A and B are shown apart, each in its own frame.
Chain A
């Protein structure tokens, strides 16, 4: 069974641009969550989607948004990029609300 797939693995952008990250969950998983990992702030929850609906949201500005498609694939968008958005963005999927999350290898975003 294929794991969580995130694309691209690496991305370089400049300040002010926007970016879209993609996540394909494990087959059959309906919940997809996104996390940001930085050396200073550690791992922080961004949001969770289930059946195309955002169910939980972390404390991030509105520049961070996401969506989930009918096939459970998810995208995360960050607009007006700032230097502080440089991070590893991790996607995780789970079968339902009560099962543990399985993580992808992440997208490393660097802002110049």
Chain B
């Protein structure tokens, strides 16, 4: 079974600073990988997805992630943090064929300091 590790349950950055949220997955075979964001009292919103087409994936709201097979990593970055980026971020990997049955990391709460 797949597993996902998100390093750091809380990350705090200043507005305008680089955002880096770390995610490592367990599979040796490139799976489907996703980053989702969750705002309070809401469901999950898809930020971006990796489906083997390109190793650098661009998502919404200025976020991007780089797939590194050698490091089994899929870290999420944003060059300049905005106050509205404060939320919880989840990395997920598909477990099995297709993009369903997601296994999620424990989440990283991102705080933006003014």
Contacts and interface: CB of A to CB of B under 8 A. Distances in A.
Interface residues on B, range: 20 to 34
Contacts, number: 63
B90 interface: yes
B96 A56 contact: yes
B100 interface: yes
A55 B103 CA distance: 16
A97 B106 contact: no
- The winner among A4, A44, A99 for most chain B CB atoms within 10 A is A99
A103 B45 contact: yes
A101 B101 CA distance: 10
Interface in A62-99: 90, 92, 94, 97-99
Interface stretch (B11-19, B22-30, B36-44, B73-81): B36-44
State the main secondary structure of chain A at its contact with B. Answer: strand
Contact of A94 (B41, B92, B95, B100): B100
A106 interface: yes
Nearest to B90: A43
Interface of B: 32, 34, 36, 41-46, 49, 51, 90, 92, 95-107
Interface of A: 4, 6, 31, 33, 35, 42-45, 48, 55-56, 58, 90, 92, 94, 97-106
